[in-house]
């Protein structure tokens, strides 16, 4: 068996690998360059108080009772259940991904793997990445960084871009708001930075929690020695997660926060630009 035959055999085996997802989003423009397809894998090791995909935290397929809605014309009534998550093969994902190949080629886009936390399903993620690279698609992994270092090293050459969410530098605060220390997260960020220029740091801007001057200054100070990381995206707070808490009747506390104004975001971006970073507002 020659190398090409061996590669095709490995690819065919990988395409039958299964994993659990909860959404495939077409024509995504905030998850990396160009027009993209974003595949959301289920399961996350963190439990962020502001999570905008709380339905993706559990690694399992979950049935939620939907909250009754009143449209103002008819009495409120229960709308049944919503099943979040499905087990699929890599081949199933790729059949959807290839439909938008023309848009990737025209826009410089590709495929992004998000979640949840895609590193929670390392074998499935690797198989997806191998299939995408076989098609020569640009690949991005949106990660919180909480995964074994060897898993990042294992897939590094298959990934064109890591969208690395960096929330809080203070370990105590990080544990309070996400349920875990950030020691491994910061270690993995340094690891990826040392391997090349594949990382964009994304900061979810949670009012009075992550968007404070103290936290932004601490993030800048941590990133400054990591010379390969100079791109930062500031993600304005959104209430999608709070809406889902209500919709799916989740036992999570709503933060009841409001999105930052454009001038406020501009000021925070300027603060980081003054430290020498290229800063974008949005994904």
pLDDT digits (tens, 9 = 90+) for 218-236: 999 999 999 999 999 999 9
270 alpha carbon, distance to own chain's centre: 25
Given this model, what pLDDT does residue 252 score? 86
Give the pairing type, strands 36-41 and 18-28: antiparallel
**What does the alpha-carbon distance between residue 77 and residue 101 come to, in Å, rounded to a whole number?**
42
Q: Report the predicted TM-score, pTM, of the whole model to 2 decimal places.
A: 0.91
Q: Please return the burial class of 44, using the count of CB atoms within 10 Å of its CB with bins 0-12, 13-18 and 19+.
A: buried
3-class DSSP state for residue 212? coil
- Answer whether 246's CB lies under 8 Å from 67's CB: yes
What is the DSSP-derived secondary structure letter of residue 259? P
pLDDT digits (tens, 9 = 90+) for 73-119: 444 455 688 899 999 999 999 999 999 999 999 999 999 999 999 99
- Answer whether 271's CB lies under 8 Å from 216's CB: yes
3-class DSSP state for residue 174? helix
Domains recognised in the chain with CATH numbers: 3-67+78-281 (3.20.20.70)
Residue found by looking up tokens 């949005």 in the block = 282
pLDDT digits (tens, 9 = 90+) for 159-215: 999 999 999 999 999 999 999 999 999 999 999 999 999 999 999 999 999 999 999
- Answer whether 44's CB lies under 8 Å from 115's CB: yes
- Answer whether 118's CB lies under 8 Å from 151's CB: no
3-class DSSP state for residue 69? strand
**What does the alpha-carbon distance between residue 45 and residue 57 come to, in Å, rounded to a whole number?**
8
3-class DSSP state for residue 31? coil
């Amino acid at each position: 068996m020659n190398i090409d035959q061996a590669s095709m055999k490995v690819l065919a085996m990988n395409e039958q690998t299964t994993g659990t997802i909860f959404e495939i989003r077409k024509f995504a423009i905030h998850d990396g360059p160009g027009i993209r397809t974003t595949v959301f894998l289920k399961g996350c090791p963190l439990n962020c108080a502001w999570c905008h995909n709380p339905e993706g935290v559990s690694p399992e397929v979950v049935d939620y009772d939907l909250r009754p809605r009143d449209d103002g014309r008819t009495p409120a009534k229960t709308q049944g259940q919503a099943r979040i998550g499905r087990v699929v093969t890599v081949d199933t994902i790729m059949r959807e991904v290839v439909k938008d190949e023309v848009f990737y080629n025209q826009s410089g886009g590709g495929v992004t793997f998000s979640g949840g936390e895609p590193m929670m399903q390392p074998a499935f993620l690797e198989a997806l990445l191998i299939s995408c690279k076989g098609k020569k698609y640009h690949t991005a992994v949106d990660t919180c960084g909480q995964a074994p270092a060897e898993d990042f090293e294992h897939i590094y050459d298959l990934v064109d871009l890591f969208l690395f969410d960096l929330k809080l530098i203070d370990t105590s605060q990080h544990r309070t708001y996400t349920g875990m220390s950030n020691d491994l997260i910061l270690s993995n960020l340094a690891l990826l930075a040392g391997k090349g220029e594949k990382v964009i740091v994304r900061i979810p801007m949670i009012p009075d929690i992550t968007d404070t001057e103290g936290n932004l200054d601490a993030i800048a100070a941590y990133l400054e020695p990591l010379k390969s990381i100079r791109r930062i995206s500031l993600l304005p707070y959104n209430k999608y997660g709070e809406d889902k808490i209500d919709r799916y009747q989740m036992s999570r506390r709503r933060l009841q926060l409001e999105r930052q104004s454009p001038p406020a975001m501009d000021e925070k971006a300027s603060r980081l630009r003054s430290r020498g970073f290229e800063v974008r507002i949005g994904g």
